[in-house]
Structure formats: C-alpha cells, structure tokens
C-alpha cells in the first residue's frame, strides 16, 4: 500500500511526462479494442448471415456431393427415403436439387447452377415464396437471382433468359426463365452464378422426380439428423463454417501482430521513462535503502510506479474511448463496394462487437506488459550500494 501511495505521488509530481505516457498507452489500448472488436463483429455477422442464408442448422449431403467439385453435381442426387420426406413435410428439412446449365442473357453465354428449392420453405432467408408465382403455363418458369448474378449477367427483374440444361437421360432441353425477383444477400456463395427455381419444376425438367442433392435442416431437424440422414452424410454447422472460421483465425493472427506493434511503441516510452527515472533518482533510492527499506521494496516501488501508467491509461482510455467505441457500434463501419468481391460473407456495414472476454484480455495484456517492462530496468536497484547511490554513482 505504501508503494502505491509513493508511486502515485511520484507520477503526479512528474507532470506532463506522466500524462504523455498515459495518453500514448491509452490510444494503443483503445485501438487494440477497436480492431479486435471489428474482427469479432465481422466474424459474428458473417457466421449469422451464412447460417440464415445458406447452411441452416446443418445439412445432409448425398454421398457423392462435393460443393467444391462441380463435376459431382450430375451424379450427386437420388430419390428421397420416406424418413427424409417425412422430415420435409414436417418442416424439419428442405430439399435442394442441383443441375448445371447454360444461360444466354442478351445473347451471351454464361455457365450457371440451377438450384431447385421448395417455394414454401422457411428455413433459409432466400425469398423462395416468390417462385410460387409461375402459375400453370409450362413455358413460364419463374426464377429468382441474387444481386451478384444479376450484375454479372446484366439482367434485372422481369427479364427473360434462355436456359439450356441436360436431363437425366442426357438429352438437352432449353426454355426461358423469367427473373421475378433480384434479392440482396451478404453471402456471395448463394448467388454467384446461381439461379433458383421451384424444385418441382426442376424435377420435371430433369426427370429427377422425388430426388434431391442435399437437405438443409432446421434447429429441430439437426437434433434428429441421425433419423433423417440414412446413408447420406450429416454435416453439422461447425463443419460447414470451417472455411469461414479459418479465414477469421488468419485475420486474428494479423490483428495480434498489429496489437503487439502498437503496444510495443507505447511500452517503449514507459521503459525509457523508467530507465531515466532510476538514473536521475539514485540519491532518492539510496535514501530509501539507508532509512531501512529493503531493496526488494524499492524494486517493488519503481515497478508499481511503472505499472500505474497502464492503470491510468485504462482509466483514461475508458473515459474517451468508451463513447467513441459505442458510437462506432451504433453507426457501424461502412465497407467499400469492392469488399463484396472478397468471396466471403461481409455486410455493407460492419458492427463491432466488444465481448467481455476480449475486453478483459486486452486490459490484462496491457497491465502485465507494463508490469514486465517496468520491472526490467528496476533490477539494477538490487545491485546498488546505499553509499554509492547517495553519492549519485551507478553500481
């Protein structure tokens, strides 16, 4: 307790030098919180959007289905078992049927993936209910497309596109599809080069009746995945999010380097201040020892004095950084339009997320780092002789 009182008295007595060190360290502390909060917010948004728009609570894949190999799509489908049909009828799952096709928007050629989905499904946020508009005309095929497909194909709502595909017998066929809606999503993997039509219409077009490539599960369906999957493969949510988590882990690694550099710059000022303080206050140190204070307590005094910079920095950072970080969380951080081409889920604005664990970790990191940097120069005190210190000589 005595060491803390003396440390505070010495720090406040140093005036501008103390507040410069505290200010620099508080800026580093707030920037570390901001950058990590930005990445955590991006990670949380990306995972939630991917779950809502693409993977649901999990998926059940046909044994031959591989989303990274388009050549498997032609064979990765089979008839649904009674257990799967029961799960679909009860809303536990929704089927998706895939087939490769070629679209000719405006006379140009574009390879597309036709996805047959249930217009009445409620598991994914894709507006599939609009597919129920196609009516009874066999030559009128309603389709919905994402913003990215619409931009690459240069089509808009109401446009007609000639689409050619191959059915189960290997016969080519072609019809026009009408874009009844262009939806916007933060998940590029659900709309880049993809057209959505009713699964019943796609089954009719390809002669793949009662077949699907995979099932998307609801939360309740994931709990009963063992009963539904049969000989198909169940992919839980963590497996489907693996690529996204690996990208975020790499981003976290880079944030660690940036945080370390910022912290090192701030701690360097404390280190230099401690070295200078010990050099200039040798008579004071000798007086402490001559009056009976042990070298260990003198070392503790200067270590506490250096560590107090970080405590004051946390307080100062809270006073000016908290309103700033909360304002950023309220407003969000706009992302450039080119960020949409990154290939992973990213919103127009990222809302930072400041978790309690991240904040506590950052505070502990700043304080412990300051403690270590403050202790290193003070080790010289343990080698000083009181008589030399009183005369102002180095040991």
pLDDT tens-place string over residues 318-346: 999 899 998 988 888 887 666 565 556 67
Q: Tens of pLDDT along 287-304?
A: 776 666 777 777 777 788
| Predicted confidence (pLDDT) at residue 102 exceeds the cutoff of 80 | yes
Which tokens belong to 9?
């008295």
Which tokens belong to 117?
């989905």
The count of other CB atoms within 10 Å of the CB of residue 321 is 18
Rg of the chain in Å (alpha carbons): 32
- Output the pTM of the full model: 0.80
What backbone torsions phi and psi does residue 230 show, to the nearest 5 degrees? 65, -125
The pLDDT score that the predictor gives to residue 127 is: 92
The pLDDT score that the predictor gives to residue 117 is: 95
Spatial distance between the Cα atoms of 131 and 247, rounded to a whole number of angstroms: 34
Distances (CA, A) of 157 to 142, 181, 182: 11, 5, 6
Query: How would residue 77 be classed by pLDDT, with cut points 50, 70 and 90?
Result: very high
Task: Give 253-267 as a DSSP string.
Answer: HHHHHHHHHHHHHHH
The pLDDT score that the predictor gives to residue 339 is: 59
Spatial distance between the Cα atoms of 393 and 395, rounded to a whole number of angstroms: 6
The pLDDT score that the predictor gives to residue 230 is: 86
């Amino acid at each position: 307790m005595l060491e803390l009182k003396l440390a505070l008295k010495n720090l406040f007595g140093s005036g501008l030098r103390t507040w410069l060190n505290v200010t620099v360290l508080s800026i580093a502390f707030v920037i570390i919180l901001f950058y990590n909060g930005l990445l955590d917010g991006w990670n949380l948004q990306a995972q939630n959007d991917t779950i809502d728009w693409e993977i649901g609570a999990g998926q059940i894949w046909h044994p031959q289905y591989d989303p990274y190999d388009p050549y498997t799509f032609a064979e990765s489908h089979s008839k649904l078992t009674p257990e799967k049909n029961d799960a679909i009828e009860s809303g536990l799952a929704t089927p998706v049927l895939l087939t490769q096709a070629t679209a000719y928007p405006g006379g140009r050629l574009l390879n597309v993936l036709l996805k047959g989905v249930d217009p009445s499904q409620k598991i994914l946020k894709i507006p599939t209910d609009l597919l129920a508009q196609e009516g009874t005309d066999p030559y009128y095929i309603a389709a919905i497309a994402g913003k990215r497909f619409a931009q690459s194909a240069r089509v808009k709502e109401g446009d007609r596109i000639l689409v050619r595909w191959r059915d189960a017998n290997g016969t080519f066929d072609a019809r026009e599809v009408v874009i009844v809606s262009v939806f916007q999503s933060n998940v590029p993997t659900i709309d880049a080069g993809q057209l959505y039509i009713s699964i019943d219409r796609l089954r009719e077009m390809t002669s793949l009746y009662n077949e699907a490539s995979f099932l998307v599960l609801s939360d309740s369906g994931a709990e009963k995945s063992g009963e539904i999957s049969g000989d198909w493969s169940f992919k839980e949510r963590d497996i489907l999010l693996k690529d996204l988590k690996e990208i975020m882990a790499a981003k976290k690694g880079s944030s660690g380097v940036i945080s370390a550099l910022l912290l090192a710059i701030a701690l360097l000022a404390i280190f230099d201040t401690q070295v200078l303080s010990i050099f200039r206050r040798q008579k004071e140190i000798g007086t402490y020892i001559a009056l009976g204070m042990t070298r260990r307590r003198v070392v503790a005094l200067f270590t506490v004095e250096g560590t107090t910079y970080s405590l004051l920095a946390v307080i100062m950072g809270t006073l000016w950084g908290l309103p700033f970080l909360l304002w950023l969380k309220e407003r969000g951080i706009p992302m450039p339009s080119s960020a949409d081409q990154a290939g992973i889920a990213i919103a127009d604005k990222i809302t930072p997320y400041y978790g309690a664990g991240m904040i506590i970790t950052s505070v502990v990191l700043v304080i412990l780092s300051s403690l270590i940097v403050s202790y290193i120069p003070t080790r010289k005190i343990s080698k000083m002789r009181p008589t030399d210190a009183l005369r102002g000589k180095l040991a």
